Amino acid sequence: MDSLTIQILGVCISIIIPLLFVAFVVNDRNSRLIMLFFCWGVFAGFIAFIGNNYFGGSFEQQARITTSIAPIVEEFAKALPMLLFLLIKKQTSDNEIIVYSALASGAGFSVQETIYYFSMTSGQMGDLLTLVVRTLTTALMHAMATGIFGLGLMMFIKQRYILLPLSFGLLCISTFLHALYNLLLPTGAVVFAVLIPIGLYLTGLVFLESIRQKRV
């Protein structure tokens, strides 16, 4: 492995191991699960780095990596452990943990990605401002893209006969939103890029609250 790959792997280790200590001390099962999915998200950042370099390594693919290759690789890496929920035969009425786990995976991924891009800067004060803006926007985008996958699983987890094609469809939606965000970000329509994850976040809050109200 080259030095950059080792540095990214080192970031994974330095973040994941302390969180694993805390996760296994926490008694609440759902809290532990969310922390474990956050750890996976951080590791998924490393997987995506390897995958993006592999599939986008050629000169012809460089121009396509942001809008075509990276969204597919990254969304697959983030959502992969969500398929474990399909193995749970006994489902409860409260499946919101699926959504929270998906959000945690996306948020964990954004930590790794943000650290990577910040390491590429000169470390000036202006770079810190860029880091804050990137954290506020891209972190929410990654969380919401994976959150859509989790939300779909939560809604249809009992419909076993459609879960596999549904999972593929949800992955396509997540990838599309991710690619659209990357496509709009460097253009004059950057405001719309920022509004996409914000709108999804607010819509998700309203939707989850309506589910809770029906459950009461």
Q: Which two tokens stand for residue 41?
A: 């998200």
Q: Where are the alpha helices (DSSP H) in 56-124?
A: 59-62, 70-79, 96-119
Neighbour count for residue 176 (Cβ, 10 Å): 14
Residue labelled with tokens 């780095």: 49
Cβ atoms of 45 and 8 within 8 Å: the answer is yes
Q: Which two tokens stand for residue 91?
A: 């489902």
pLDDT in tens, 125-181: 888 888 888 888 888 999 999 999 999 988 888 777 787 888 899 999 999 999 999
pLDDT in tens, 166-199: 889 999 999 999 999 989 988 888 888 889 889 9
Q: Which amino acid is at 190?
A: V
The length of the chain is: 216
Residue labelled with tokens 């330095």: 14
